[in-house]
Amino acid sequence: MAHCIGRVDGSLYLGMECGIVIVLDNTSLEFFQVDLPSGIHMSEDLGYHSTYNVVHGVAGDSEPRSRPRIIHVYLDELEVFRRVFDSGEWVLEHSIRRLSEVTRGLPGYPREKAFDWEARVFDDGIGFVVVSVWDPNNRKWLFSVDMETMELKVVPESDYRNTRGTWSYTLSWSPFIRASPRVKLI
């Protein structure tokens, strides 16, 4: 079974539980396969929940365009992988190994609970990702992560009170449809 894990640079990324990512290129309307970095598993059989999304990265000084990134959240860790276009490999770019300790200083941190929350990638934009965390009492807490500096900021509750994750998708113009030369536009 596949689920949408992101839309980057005109491509739709679909993640499969077996660790394969299927990519639909909107311009060519062709599918191709991309392997996930080692260590990313979607199976619930591991005893913990692991989530990942493909998001927009920021182009570096020597890069002509942004590169897709995988944000992987599991247990008490957050990892950012960057795709190497020449080889198709994913390389670990940044990681936060003890997310509970790093977030402890942020406003709104629920101090009365241990870090046994469930964290997921909630939303993203170019160069940042928003991670949602639910504690055992189903309270939601959101913070953003800058993918270059790994700086964390709390997203105010008023900004996400009634939010839900959404993904937009626009079909590209089919190369088989052509305007008729007989039609006059007024």
As a whole number of angstroms, the distance between CA 14 and CA 61 comes to 29
Q: Model-level pTM? A: 0.71
pLDDT at 186 over 60: no
- Residue pair 6/13 in contact by the 8 Å Cβ criterion: yes
As a whole number of angstroms, the distance between CA 70 and CA 93 comes to 10
Q: What is the pLDDT of residue 8?
A: 83
pLDDT higher at 140 or 180:
140
Residue 141, helix vs strand vs coil: strand
What does pLDDT average to over the chain?
73
- Residue pair 69/54 in contact by the 8 Å Cβ criterion: yes
Q: What is the pLDDT of residue 162?
A: 53
pLDDT higher at 64 or 84:
84
77-83 vs 68-74, strand pairing mode: antiparallel
C-beta pairs of 57-63 under 8 Å, 24+ apart in sequence: 57/82, 57/126, 57/127, 57/147, 58/126, 58/127, 58/147, 58/148
Among 52-61, 87-96, 127-136, 159-168, the minimum mean pLDDT is found in 159-168
